[in-house]
Amino acid sequence: MKGWIIAAAGVVLAILIAVAGAYLISGGESIVSGNRVAVVSISGVIAMESESGLFAEGATTPEDVKTQIEHALDDDSVKAILLEVNSPGGSAVASDEIAEIIKDARKKKPVVAWLGEWATSGAYYVASAADYIVASPATVTGSVGVIFILPEYSGLMRKVGVNMTVIKAGEYKDFARGYRPLSREEEEMLQSVVDEIYDVFVREVAENRNLSEEYVRERVASGGVFSAAQARELGLVDEIGTRSRALEKAGELGGIEGKPEEVRYRRKTLFSELFTSAMQNIGYGFAKGMAEVYSLYGEVRAAE
């Protein structure tokens, strides 16, 4: 009888460890179903690739956001998505990719953006793709514009006596290397590229916020930043409120009655990946060992 008790206890413990492993893999996602809002974080610099390292959280990338939103769309208990935006912006390409991911998600589930401490440049580009935007009373947002910064240190090189020998094929192949000033033609070339990216930014904000392009260019897209109240007046946000209010709004748009339950899909660091793997292996090894003990015990009992 004691063998059965030991085996049963082992199975229960193995199940608990497996559940803990599943919890870690899901990034803390609640296992209980219900009317939930998936929270997707847009934090730090927006980039095409994240930082690497043992404990590095890295930048927000399109792949990060896509993975989280796919989880939310596949989960039938999730009725809406809340974007927590706290970022200065970053890559124009990455911001555009994330905005497209959000617009695609809106076809299936409503998306509300909550602007935290700041949501400027590419971060506002991303937020503008949501169905509804709630800004914290202390939010700094805007900075709708494009900038391309190139260091130029030819004066320093002359002072220290450094010369450059350049062998190239292609008139502009050595532009923006820093060891010489840009020519007028090179400046015009780069300006044309910046202007085209700027046009895309303006067009997207105008379309997403149901504003005219002329209005956005004249009132919004100077590159300046705005307070939450100013952004509300300009039509860049829908409401000024707390994160709780943004969550409530997401629940309303998702048809949830009462306070929604939150679920997150966190990106794991290398440390958490290793810990999760270890927990899974412990659970598997323990269950396997208990099964072998039970098998041996059964054989002994049968021989008696």
Which residues are part of the catalytic machinery?
121, 173
Let me know: does 90 contact 143? Beta carbons within 8 Å: no
Q: Where are the alpha helices (DSSP H) in the chain?
A: 2-25, 62-74, 92-106, 122-127, 154-160, 184-208, 213-215, 228-234, 243-253, 270-303
How many residues in total does the chain contain? Answer: 304
| Alpha carbon distance 222, 225 (integer Å) | 9
Closest CA to 234 of 211, 253, 250, 254: 211
Helix (H) / strand (E) element for 261: namely strand 261-264
Contacts of residue 63, defined as CB under 8 A and 6 or more positions apart, other chains included, come to: none
For β-strands 140-142 and 111-120, DSSP reports them as parallel
**How many other C-beta atoms lie within 10 A of the C-beta of residue 57?**
15
Integer-rounded Cα radius of gyration of the chain: 27
Question: Rounded to an integer, what distance in angstroms lies between the CA atom of residue 268 and that of residue 27?
Answer: 7
Written as six digits, the tokens of 101 are: 């991911």
